[in-house]
Chains A and B, each alone.
Chain A
Amino acid sequence: MRKLTLFLALMCLLGLQAAFAQRTITGKITSSEDKLGIPGATVLVKGTTVGVISDANGNFTLQVPKDKNILLISFVGMKTVQLTLGESNVVNVELSPEAQALEGVVITALGISREKKSLGYSVQNVSGEDLIKTRGEANFINTLSGRIAGVQVTGASGTMGGSSRILIRGVNSVSGNNQPLFVIDGIPIDNSDFNSTNTARGGGGFDYGNMAQDVNADDIESVSVLKGPNAAALYGSRAANGVILITTKKGKQAKGGGIGVTWNSSVTFDRVAMLPTYQNKYGGGTIYTGEDGKDGFAPGPVVNDVQMYVPDFYTDESWGPKYDPNIMVLAWNSFDEWDTENYLKPKPWVAPENDVIDFFKTGVGFNNTVSFTGATAVSNFRLSYSNLDADGYMPNSKQNKNTISFNGSTDLSDRLKAFTTFNYVKTVYVGRPETGYGDNNPMVRFNQWGQRQLDMEEMKAYLNPDGSQRTWNRTAWDDPTPVYSNNPYWSRYKDYQDDERNRYFGNVGLSYQICPSIRLQGKVNADYYNFRVRERIAIGSAFLSSYSEYLRENTEINSELMAFFNRNLSEKISLNATAGLNQMTRKYFRNGGATQGGLVLAGLYTLANSAVPASVDDYSNQKRINSILGSASFGYNNRLYLDLTGRNDWASTLPEDKNSYFYPSATVSFLLSELNYLKNFKPLSFAKVRVGWAQVGNDTDPYRLLNYYLANDNFGEYSSYRLPTTLNNDKLKPEITTSLEFGAELIFLNNRLGLDITYYDKSSKNQIIPVPTSSATGYRYQIVNAGEITNKGIEIALNTTPVKLNNGFQWDLNFNWAKNENMVVELAEGVNTYLLGSLFGIEVHAEEGKPYGSIRGYTYVTDDKGNKIVGTNGRYIQSTTIKSVGSVLPDWNMGISNTLKYKNWDFGFFFDIQKGGSLFSLTHMWGMYSGILEETAALNDKGNEMRDAVADGGGVLNQGVYGKLDADGNVVYLNPDGSTSEVPVANSTYVSALTWAADHYSRARASKNTFGADYIKLREIRLGYNLPSKYLGPIQKASVGVYARNLATWGLKNQHVDPESVTSAGNIQGIEGGQLPPLRSFGINLVLSF
Chain B
Amino acid sequence: MKRISIFLIFLVSLTLMLGCTKDFDKFSENPNDPQQVSTGFILTYAQKYLMDNMRDEWFGGRCTFLLSQYWAQNNYTDEDRYLFRTTVTDAQWRYFYLGLMNLRDIVRLNTDEETKNDALANGANENQIAVANILTAYIMQIVTDTWGDVPFTQALLGNENQTPVYDKQSSIYPALITMLKDAAAMIDLNKDGIKSGDIIYNGDMALWKKFANSLRLRIALRMKAKDPAPFNEVVALGPDALIASNDEIAAFKYVGVAPNNGPLYDAWFTENRNDFTMSKPFVDLLKGVNDTLNSKTNPFTGIFDPRLPIFCTPVNGEYLGMPYGMTDSDTKAYAANCPNFKNDPSVVQASDFSYVLMDYAEVCFILSEANGWDQTWYANGVEASLEWWGVAAGDIATYMAALPAANQERVLTQKYIALYPQGEQGWFEYRRTGFPHTLVHPGEITHVGTSGNIIFTPLEGNQIPRRLLYPIEEQGVNANSYAAAVAQMGGDTQDINVWWAQ
What is the interface of chain A, defined by CB distance below 8 A to chain B? 1, 4, 286-291, 293, 298, 312, 314-315, 319, 412-413, 416, 475-476, 481, 483, 510, 512, 520, 522, 542-544, 559, 561, 581-583, 596-598, 611-612, 615, 618-624, 626, 650, 652-653, 656, 659, 702-703, 705-713, 715-716, 718-723, 725, 727, 729, 772-780, 782, 830-833, 835, 838, 840-841, 843, 845, 880-882, 967, 994, 1002
Instruction: Pick from A619, A711, A780, A967: contact of B94, CB below 8 A.
Output: A780
Contact string against A for B residues 58-99, beta-carbon threshold 8 Å, 1 for contact and 0 otherwise: 000000000000000001001000010111000001100110
Instruction: Classify chain B: how many residues form its interface, as a range.
Output: 35 or more
Residues of chain B from 263 to 291 with CB closer than 8 A to chain A in the complex: 269-272, 274
Contact A712 B15 (CB under 8 A): no
Residues of chain B from 133 to 165 with CB closer than 8 A to chain A in the complex: 150-151, 155-159, 161-164
Q: Please give me the residue from chain A that is nearest to B257 by CB atom.
A: A612
Chain A residues near B87: list those with CB within 8 A.
838, 840-841
Q: Kindly provide the distance from the CB of A783 to the nearest chain B CB, expressed in whole angstroms.
A: 9
Contact A719 B38 (CB under 8 A): yes
What is the interface of chain B, defined by CB distance below 8 A to chain A? 3-4, 7, 10-12, 14-15, 17-18, 21, 23-24, 26-28, 30-38, 40-42, 44-46, 48-49, 75, 78, 83, 85-87, 93-94, 97-98, 100-102, 104-105, 150-151, 155-159, 161-164, 196-197, 199, 255, 257-261, 269-272, 274, 328-330, 332-333, 335-336, 342, 449-451, 459, 471-479, 481, 491-492
Closest 10 CB pairs of A and B: A597-B258, A778-B101, A708-B33, A290-B333, A652-B27, A776-B151, A774-B478, A721-B41, A775-B94, A833-B476
Contact B102 A722 (CB under 8 A): yes
Q: Please give me the residue from chain B that is nearest to A831 by CB atom.
A: B477
Chain A residues near B78: list those with CB within 8 A.
1002
Contact A716 B260 (CB under 8 A): yes
Q: List 24 A-B contacts (CB under 8 A).
A: A291-B450, A416-B7, A522-B7, A543-B271, A544-B272, A583-B18, A597-B257, A615-B259, A652-B24, A653-B28, A703-B33, A705-B28, A708-B30, A708-B35, A709-B33, A715-B199, A715-B255, A719-B197, A774-B164, A777-B155, A778-B101, A778-B158, A840-B87, A841-B86
Chain A residues near B261: list those with CB within 8 A.
597
Given A718-B199, A722-B102, A4:B478 Cβ within 8 A: no
Kindly state the separation between the CA atoms of A289 and B35 in the bound complex, as whole angstroms: 61
Chain B residues near A298: list those with CB within 8 A.
332-333
Given A773-B477, A831-B476, A559:B11 Cβ within 8 A: no
Kindly state the separation between the CA atoms of A612 and B481 in the bound complex, as whole angstroms: 46
Q: Kindly provide the distance from the CB of A972 to the nearest chain B CB, expressed in whole angstroms.
A: 16
In the complex, besides A719-B44, A722-B46, A774-B151, 16 extra interface pairs with C-beta distance below 8 angstroms are: A289-B330, A293-B333, A510-B10, A542-B272, A544-B270, A597-B257, A611-B258, A615-B259, A709-B41, A718-B196, A721-B38, A725-B98, A727-B158, A777-B156, A778-B155, A843-B472
Kindly state the separation between the CA atoms of A711 and B271 in the bound complex, as whole angstroms: 23
Contact B473 A1002 (CB under 8 A): no
Contact B156 A778 (CB under 8 A): yes
Q: Kindly provide the distance from the CB of A948 to the nearest chain B CB, expressed in whole angstroms.
A: 15
Contact A522 B479 (CB under 8 A): no
Q: Kindly provide the distance from the CB of A859 to the nearest chain B CB, expressed in whole angstroms.
A: 13
Q: Kindly provide the distance from the CB of B140 to the nearest chain A CB, expressed in whole angstroms.
A: 11
Contact A776 B155 (CB under 8 A): yes
Chain B residues near A782: list those with CB within 8 A.
158-159, 162
Q: Please give me the residue from chain B that is nearest to A595 by CB atom.
A: B258
Instruction: Pick from B3, B45, B199, B259: contact of A412, CB below 8 A.
Output: B3
Q: Please give me the residue from chain A that is nearest to B457 by CB atom.
A: A873
Contact A706 B260 (CB under 8 A): no
Given A774-B477, A831-B477, A288:B333 Cβ within 8 A: yes
Chain A residues near B163: list those with CB within 8 A.
774, 830
Q: Kindly provide the distance from the CB of A468 to the nearest chain B CB, expressed in whole angstroms.
A: 15
Chain A residues near B31: list those with CB within 8 A.
620-621
Contact B98 A775 (CB under 8 A): yes
Chain A residues near B259: list those with CB within 8 A.
596-597, 612, 615, 713
Kindly state the separation between the CA atoms of A552 and B274 in the bound complex, as whole angstroms: 37
Chain A residues near B477: list those with CB within 8 A.
772-774, 830-831, 833
Q: Kindly provide the distance from the CB of A697 to the nearest chain B CB, expressed in whole angstroms.
A: 16
Contact A777 B162 (CB under 8 A): yes
Q: Kindly provide the distance from the CB of A515 to the nearest chain B CB, expressed in whole angstroms.
A: 14
Kindly state the separation between the CA atoms of A488 and B459 in the bound complex, as whole angstroms: 34
Instruction: Pick from A583, A778, A1002: contact of B157, CB below 8 A.
Output: A778
Chain B residues near A598: list those with CB within 8 A.
258, 270
Query: Chain A CB within 10 Å — which of B28, B36, B159, B270 has the most?
Result: B28
Q: Kindly provide the distance from the CB of A821 to the nearest chain B CB, expressed in whole angstroms.
A: 23
Given A773-B162, A776-B155, A776-B156, A522:B14 Cβ within 8 A: yes
Kindly state the separation between the CA atoms of A725 and B335 in the bound complex, as whole angstroms: 41
Contact B10 A522 (CB under 8 A): yes
Kindly state the separation between the CA atoms of A413 and B2 in the bound complex, as whole angstroms: 11
Given A778-B158, A780-B98, A314:B473 Cβ within 8 A: no
Kindly state the separation between the CA atoms of A290 and B326 in the bound complex, as whole angstroms: 14
Q: Kindly provide the distance from the CB of B285 to the nearest chain A CB, expressed in whole angstroms.
A: 25
Given A727-B158, A774-B478, A779-B101, A286:B272 Cβ within 8 A: no
Chain A residues near B330: list those with CB within 8 A.
289
Contact A290 B450 (CB under 8 A): yes
Contact B475 A723 (CB under 8 A): no
Kindly state the separation between the CA atoms of A619 and B33 in the bound complex, as whole angstroms: 9
Q: Please give me the residue from chain A that is nearest to B166 by CB atom.
A: A776
Chain A residues near B33: list those with CB within 8 A.
703, 708-711
Contact B83 A1002 (CB under 8 A): yes
Instruction: Pick from A544, A708, A709: contact of B269, CB below 8 A.
Output: A544
Chain A residues near B449: list those with CB within 8 A.
289
Instruction: Pick from B3, B197, B478: contact of A413, CB below 8 A.
Output: B3
Chain A residues near B476: list those with CB within 8 A.
772, 831-833, 835, 845
Q: Kindly provide the distance from the CB of B14 to the nearest chain A CB, expressed in whole angstroms.
A: 5
Contact A289 B450 (CB under 8 A): yes
Q: Please give me the residue from chain B that is nearest to A610 by CB atom.
A: B258
Instruction: Pick from A413, A522, A777: contact of B158, CB below 8 A.
Output: A777
Contact A720 B44 (CB under 8 A): yes
Q: Kindly provide the distance from the CB of A201 to the nearest chain B CB, expressed in whole angstroms.
A: 12
Given A289-B332, A416-B4, A778-B100, A626:B85 Cβ within 8 A: no
Given A288-B333, A774-B164, A722:B7 Cβ within 8 A: no
Q: Please give me the residue from chain B that is nearest to A510 by CB atom.
A: B7
Contact B258 A659 (CB under 8 A): no
Chain A residues near B21: list those with CB within 8 A.
626, 650, 652, 659
Given A713-B260, A716-B255, A775-B98, A581:B475 Cβ within 8 A: no
Contact A1 B12 (CB under 8 A): yes
Q: Kindly provide the distance from the CB of B107 to the nearest chain A CB, expressed in whole angstroms.
A: 12
Contact B35 A706 (CB under 8 A): yes
Query: Chain A CB within 10 Å — which of B78, B164, B476 has the most?
Result: B476
Instruction: Pick from A581, A711, A774: contact of B162, CB below 8 A.
Output: A774
Chain A residues near B328: list those with CB within 8 A.
286, 315
Chain B residues near A652: list those with CB within 8 A.
21, 24, 27-28
Contact A722 B49 (CB under 8 A): yes
Q: Kindly provide the distance from the CB of A850 to the nearest chain B CB, expressed in whole angstroms.
A: 12
Chain A residues near B158: list those with CB within 8 A.
727, 777-779, 782
Chain A residues near B258: list those with CB within 8 A.
596-598, 611-612
Given A623-B27, A721-B45, A881-B475, A841:B85 Cβ within 8 A: yes
Kindly state the separation between the CA atoms of A674 and B128 in the bound complex, as whole angstroms: 83
Kindly state the separation between the CA atoms of A620 and B32 in the bound complex, as whole angstroms: 7
Given A286-B328, A841-B86, A841-B87, A778:B257 Cβ within 8 A: no
Q: Kindly provide the distance from the CB of B374 to the nearest chain A CB, expressed in whole angstroms.
A: 40
Q: Please give me the residue from chain B that is nearest to A781 by CB atom.
A: B477
Q: Please give me the residue from chain A that is nearest to B42 by CB atom.
A: A721
Query: Chain B CB within 10 Å — which of A312, A597, A612, A843 has the most?
Result: A597
Contact B44 A702 (CB under 8 A): no
Chain A residues near B3: list those with CB within 8 A.
412-413, 416
